[in-house]
Amino acid sequence: MAPRNIFNRGLHHSPVDIILVRYAEVGLKSTGVRRYFESILIDNMLTALASHGLEALVTSEQGRIYVTTDRIAEAIPIVRRVFGVASVSPALLGDSAMEEMQRLAAEYSREVLREGQSFAVKARREGNHPYKSMDVGREVGSAIFLANEDRGVRVDLTRPDVTFYVEVRERKAYLFSEYLSGPGGLPMGSQGKVVAVVEDERDALAAWMLMKRGCRVIVHAPSPSGPFDLLKAWDPKLKVVISSDLPRTVRESKALAVVYGRTLQDMDAVKALPSEPPAFFPLMGLQEDEISAHMEAVRSGQ
């Protein structure tokens, strides 16, 4: 058996083979549009990983994206910072034969469960198999219980300490115990380009919110001392133009609109802005606590 990678879960060290990536809004599109968005999302993930010196294979199949790399622990926080990603799960990959799933689950659970903890198993499957999802949950759950009987673990289907998830897709089975959130939204670059005027963190937040809606942002700044690193953490290819000539930046970038970090308290300044090109004010309807919460998401990378 080939050696597995180790992903550090803080209190546990769990062997994992692959990263499962889920999207939300992309899945609502028609088949053709979804495939187009998937290709942009995959390209953005590869770009983000490459910017940190990570090599990876990224593939898509049946509404899931899979990331394979020998540096999974490093790849997970990077993938979680790609717009369009709803959640990720570091997972074990095995055969869909029931005996193999039981063996993997028993091995994996010894790394995850602690003394006296409760657990549950949730299973889902796609394809033709000689068992149902309920059978997977029961048999895998039994294997986990027997493998940890010496630790006094117990089954709790209502409020378990740990939930083991089994996704069976044709001849493959994925086993994991975590859903790690991503930023959601749409793949960056799927909705055209905008220019964001960035002088302070609120301007950076406004730019970030347009990135999340799928726009490729070109930063326009009068000074090289702006908070650009906040945005570069989300877009490794971020273009920053240091200039006082905004119309020129818009024209040369072929941008569809200009983004400002203005709020309702800045109405006098908003009224003084030129009417062309179209202007977006994504912070306009937010309260101070909402702005602070969003700003924390930008700083933390989640």
HEC string of 173-193? EEEECCCEECCCCCCCCCCCE
CB 255, CB 233: distance < 8 Å: no
pLDDT tens for each residue of 92-125: 999 999 999 999 999 999 999 999 999 999 999 9
Three-state secondary structure call for residue 26 = helix
Which stretch of 113-122, 208-217, 288-297 has the lowest confidence by average pLDDT? Answer: 288-297
Give residue 302's pLDDT band: very low, low, confident or very high (50, 70, 90).
Answer: low
Over residues 25-37, the mean pLDDT reads 77
The residue whose two tokens read 């998937």 is 38
SS3 content of the chain, % helix, strand, coil (to 5): 35, 25, 35
| Beta pairing class for 162-169 and 154-155 | unpaired
Q: pLDDT value at position 275?
A: 63
How far apart CA 18 and CA 57 sit, in angstroms, is: 10
How far apart CA 27 and CA 16 sit, in angstroms, is: 26
Percentage of the chain modeled with pLDDT above 70:
93
Task: State the amino acid at position 45 in one-letter form.
Answer: M
Q: Residue 130: is the preceding peptide bond cis (ω within 30°)?
A: no
Average pLDDT across the chain, whole number: 89
Q: Is the pLDDT of residue 222 over 60?
A: yes
Instruction: Show the domains of the chain with their CATH numbers.
Output: 5-181 (3.30.2130.30), 193-300 (3.40.50.620)
CB 18, CB 93: distance < 8 Å: yes
How far apart CA 238 and CA 232 sit, in angstroms, is: 6
- pTM, rounded to two decimals: 0.86
Q: Is the pLDDT of residue 15 over 70?
A: no
